[in-house]
Amino acid sequence: MGARSATDTLKPADSDMSGMIEPPRGGYAIAANSPGLDQPLAVSIVVPTYNESKGVGEIVARLAAILETELPGRYEIIVVDDDSPDRTWAAAAALVSTYPALKVMRRVGERGLSSAVIRGWQAARGEVLGVIDADLQHPPEALLKLWGEMQRGAEMAVASRHVEGGGVSEWSMLRRIVSRGAQVIGLLILPDVVGRVADPMSGYFLVRRSVLSGVQLHPMGYKILIEVLGRARVRWISEVPYVFKERELGESKVTRKVYFDYLRHLLTLRWAKIPLTRFMRFALVGLSGVVVDMTFLFLLSDPSMLAWGLTRSKLIAAELAIVNNFFWNDVWTFRDRANDRRPQSRLRRFAKFQVICLMGVIINTVLLNVLFNFFGMNRYVANAVAIAVVTGWNYWLNLKISWRAKQPD
Ligand code: GDD
Ligand code: MN
pLDDT, tens digit, for every residue of 63-98?
999 999 999 999 999 999 999 999 999 999 999 999
**Segment 12-58, tens digit of pLDDT:** 444 445 789 999 998 999 998 876 666 789 999 999 999 999 999 99
Q: How far is the CA of 200 from the centre of ligand 2 (A)?
A: 16
> Helices 224-231 & 256-272, crossing angle to 10 degrees?
0
Q: Which pLDDT belongs to residue 12?
A: 42
Is the four-CA dihedral 2, 3, 8, 14 of positive or negative sign? Answer: positive
Point out the ligand nearest to the CA of residue 258. 1
Continuous H helices in 190-309:
191-194, 209-212, 224-231, 256-272, 278-301
**Pocket mutation for ligand 1, best pick of 60, 63, 111, 113 (most atoms within 8 Å of C-beta):** 113
Give pLDDT, residue 386.
83
Atom 9 (ligand 1) nearest CA: 113
Ligand 1 midpoint to CA 49 (Å): 8
Q: Residue 137 CA: which ligand is closest?
A: 2
- List all residues whose CB is within 6 A of at least one atom of ligand 1: 48-50, 52, 80-82, 111-113, 116, 133-135, 137, 201-204, 222-223, 244, 252-254
* Residue to substitute in 253, 255, 257 for testing ligand 1 pocket (most ligand atoms within 8 angstroms of CB): 253
Q: How far is the CA of 247 from the centre of ligand 2 (A)?
A: 6
Give, for ligand 1, the residue of 51, 146, 171, 222 to mutate: max count of ligand atoms closer than 8 Å to Cβ.
222
Ligand nearest to the CA of 201: 1
pLDDT in tens, 224-282: 999 999 999 999 999 999 999 888 888 888 888 888 899 899 988 988 887 778 888 99
pTM above 0.85, yes or no: no
More confident residue, 342 or 126: 126
Residue 6's pLDDT band (cuts 50, 70, 90): very low
3-state SS string over 165-187? CCEECCCCHHHHHHHHHHHHHHH
Q: Whose CA is nearest to atom 26 of ligand 1?
A: 252
Which residue has a Cα nearest atom 23 of ligand 1? 252
Instruction: Give the rounded distance of the alpha carbon of 348 from its chain centre.
Output: 23
Closest CA to 55 of 113, 131, 143, 134: 134
Ligand nearest to the CA of 54: 1
| Contact between 167 and 208 (Cβ < 8 Å) | no
Cα 315 from Cα 327, distance rounded (Å): 19
Ranges of beta strands (E only) in 28-87 are 41-49, 75-81
